[in-house]
Amino acid sequence: MLAGSFATQTRSTKKPPAATASGNHPRGAPAFTPRHAAGYLFSSCAAIAYGISPLMVRLAFDSAPQASVLAGAVIAYASATAVFSFLLLRPEVRRDISGLKRENMPWFLCAAVLVTVSQGFVYASLAVAPLMVVTPILQTSLVFRVFLSWLINREYEVLNASVLIGAAPAIIGSILVSLNTDFVASAAALPDALSSALRFRLAG
């Protein structure tokens, strides 16, 4: 799963549109220059935090099985909102928010709605299913991220053979991890030795 995910992260061969003599970008061309080091750092931090958060949710539902999905989501999002509210104390953050163009707002609003809906389903799934089943299935979101990024933002996104080759094992691995071991062993008619190896558990 990890190898497939990293294999999709090939550097684009496309370059941002060249600036004009006045230093401005051509009309209609996005003025975007990727910063790969910062991008890898921030995405790694996001992966760590996002990977730990489902465990916290699972532990919460184990400790309070009577708690509703909506109650858990409200508490989590209220806490996140409170933490991020402190950022508004910084003048540069308020300046950046006020400087956003009107055409950018629909994208942020759509993202907010989709994230809220997706997290609602994540909480619902964690309330009724094991963590090691839910989190691998979430890895299949790579399909939507890769192909929709290429579809919507072709100026900077690349869909080539390495991306397809990397996405395939990530998705297949996610599905295999979430499948029941007994089902896989019987459906594939695996030898007893291999079936026993697949049933080996580090914990549980």
Give the Cα separation of 184 and 193 in Å (integer). Answer: 14
Domain range spanning residue 189?
Answer: 130-204
pLDDT tens string 79-107: 988 988 888 888 888 888 888 888 888 88
Q: For the whole model, what pTM was predicted?
A: 0.61
Arithmetic mean of pLDDT over the chain:
77
In a shared domain, residues 136 and 204: yes
- Domain end among 71, 104, 128: 128
Same domain, 141 and 198: yes
Same domain for 143 and 120: no
pLDDT of residue 98: 84
Q: Considering 80, 111, 128, which residue would you say is the last residue of a domain?
A: 128
Query: Given 128, 150, 179, which residue is the final one in a domain?
Result: 128
- Which uninterrupted H or E stretch holds 175? helix 161-178
- Residues 39, 9: contact at Cβ < 8 Å? no
Same domain, 189 and 142: yes
Digit-coded pLDDT (tens) for 113-164:
998 888 888 888 888 888 877 877 887 787 777 778 778 877 777 677 777 7
Number of domains composing the chain: 2
3 state SS for 44-111: HHHHHHHHHHHHHHHHHHHHCCCCCHHHHHHHHHHHHHHHHHHHHHCHHHHHHHHCCCHHHHHHHHHH
Phi, psi of 31 (to 5 degrees): -90, 80
Percent of the chain with pLDDT over 90: 1
* pLDDT tens digits for range 12-26: 445 544 544 444 555
Q: Does one domain contain both 61 and 114? A: yes
Instruction: Say whether both 74 and 106 belong to one domain.
Output: yes
In the structure encoding, which two tokens stand for residue 16, read together?
């941002």
